[in-house]
Amino acid sequence: MICPTCGTEAQPGAALCTVCGATLTAPIVAGAPGQSSLTPYPQAPSTEYATVHDAAPYAPWIRRVLAQIIDGLFVVVPSFVVAIYVVAVKGKVHIATHANNSAKITCHFTAHALSCTGGTLIRANFRELLIGVILINIIWAIYVIIAITGPRGATIGMRALKIRIVTASDRASVSMGRSVLRYVVYFVIGLLEYVAHVLVLVSFLDWLWPLWDSRNQTLHDKAAGTVALDVRRSQR
């Protein structure tokens, strides 16, 4: 090693320069030719988090709502296109009105039509419409389950708003089983809204729950043991 003060070559194992007496910066150890003879100083332990999401805050309610709206477009728009196709292309529409316009009109669905008393009959192929909408929702459900599973943990809307779904206990990636449970609970809550209108409040509670929940969880998050994180800071 060369003394940094006077430039004299120091002897192996020397702590002081024999010429100028300067303290050498590190103990000298004998090494193989061509290799550094300095003993490396110990490195300070890393203070970084084990994962980039350990310090991420919970996703705000408004961002979750916006992400849900974006995701909803991928169901509503294709369903609307299918409805237009079925009614305008595949369906037949016939409207007839009685002279007595004051008659009470009541409507009900049949296998292939919407039939209304009071003189109105709207006929279309509702079976094809129903099948099309159901297929769209099945495809979307499969996508959501797969998207929530694994390290990415987000749907299209969530990715746009920098939200990630992780487990509530240790913030790990969501497993396939947990993702299925999460979506099934979400679907059942939504189904109750249409099947039993008296339970429509449950659907509102599901999405309003994060407003007063300490971890900003929805009801389907609580059922599956998941939380939504705001990962805008960790993705910079």
Cβ within 8 Å of residue 31, ≥6 positions away? 37
As given in the structure block, the two tokens for residue 205 are 């509670």
pLDDT digits (tens, 9 = 90+) for 129-152: 778 778 888 989 999 999 999 888
Q: Give 45's DSSP letter.
A: P
Contact, 30 vs 45, CB < 8 A?
no
Give DSSP secondary structure letters for 71-91.
Answer: HHHHHHHHHHHHHHIIIIII-
Percentage of the chain beyond pLDDT 90 is 33
Query: Does residue 41 have a pLDDT over 50?
Result: no
Query: Does residue 212 have a pLDDT over 60?
Result: yes
Query: Is this prediction's pTM over 0.85?
Result: no
Distance CA 197, CA 215 (A): 29
Higher-pLDDT residue of 119 and 65 is 65
Q: What integer pLDDT is reported at residue 190 of this predicted model?
A: 79
CA angle 96, 97, 103 (to 5 degrees): 145
Per-residue pLDDT band for 95 (boundaries 50, 70, 90) equals very low
Q: What integer pLDDT is reported at residue 216 of this predicted model?
A: 93
